[in-house]
Structure 1
Amino acid sequence: MRRIPSSLATLTLVCLLTAACGGEQGGTDGAAPTAGPSTGPSTASVLSAASPEETPTEAESSPEAKAAPTTAPAVAPTTAAAPVKAPLTCAHLAEARIGSSKTPYNGYPDYLPLAGGQWSGEDGATVTLQKPCGIGDMDGDGAEDAVGAVAVNSGGSGTFYTLAAWRNSGGLPVFRALTDLGDRTPVVSISVAGRKATVVWLTRSPSRGMAELDIKRTSVFKLSGSTLTEVSHTDAPYNP
């Protein structure tokens, strides 16, 4: 048997080993890349960056996030309260006006302003507000008006009494109407009810002198335009 030289055997073994190594590693053309850590971005991260996950916006909120419509509770209608009329008192008449250009008092062409219940003119006449006064609605507007009396003295013996009405304008007296009662016929009392003024005053019989008062008259007056019209009266004897 022929013996193979050791050198040839060694060379043959190296070739076999080299072929085996080449089969595992392969060449550079068509060889699979060696797996290992990559410094570039991964495929998953690239896809994630290219197609970001959409988040719901306020306009695209899910049906569960929307509030269910509610029905507002019905509000019961309220009735506006009637405006409260400012009160008018007898004390207000002390600063009131008597007469007007349309309804002159005692022949004066314009109103006379009372101050502290009195007015004095350059002609020597003095107008004085009398104490009797009545408060009540005379014209049906729901506000309480005032009815009072004034007396004028021009320096002589005569004192002429006049009944006057003032309407309530926001708690202030505004002259409305008047009617003359006569000379030396003082007013005893005034009351207002049912849009009428009941006035008790003193007067005389036709046969009596001016200073002789023998009748106590109760007259009922109703407001009619710019005058107080007497609708009825009753007389009773008066003995001072």
Structure 2
Amino acid sequence: MKLLRRGGSDDSADHEVPATETAQAAAPEEPAPAKTTGKGRPTPKRRDAENRRRGPVAPAPLTAKEARERRKALRKSQTKEERKAAAAQRRSEAAERRNRMLAGEEKYLLPRDRGPVRAYVRDLVDSRRNLVGLFMPLALVLILSMFLGPVVQQYVTLAMFVMMLLMVIEGVYLGRMVNKKARERFPDSTDGGFGLGWYAFVRASQIRKLRAPLPRVEPGDAV
């Protein structure tokens, strides 16, 4: 449709624009949605990403000689700094295991110290003041007396004989006592008899500060 100007002349270049086209031209263009691209492949493992592919694990050595040969081969393949770092790590791990063993953690105890019965016997021994605990100090006195006169040696030897007799008597009493209480506390346990009594006697004969695992109770505490 042609538009008529005031002067009556028509302009062929002017045309009527539809309302829908005008609205579309006035509206701002919407931004195109971001195109997400997938990886298209599974996530690589960490060791593959770091280019560290592990080979088959060597079987454990069957003999002590084979273990020594493996350690020698490993030391030859390491630099001096790597050997120092490995030695420091081994010392640190050994110290950590010893500290946990002294603290009484079941995982790090020696086979002879494992189990609730052995822990209970240790507490029984540590809660008493035992005469057999003087065995090591008296043995040191006996050694030093050898440098003295023969008269002094006779008296020291006699005293040591009396003390040893008393220690044997106390050891027998201690073994019977811990076996009786262990059976009362753990009636279904098979740990007992002479082995359990000897275990209590050996611990009682040690100096308190040198016992391993360390005592958990003080002398006179109820167990």
Is TM more than 0.5 here?
no
Rg: which structure is higher? 1
Name whichever structure is richer in strand by fraction: 1
TM-score by length of 2: 0.17
Name whichever structure is richer in helix by fraction: 2
TM-score by length of 1: 0.16
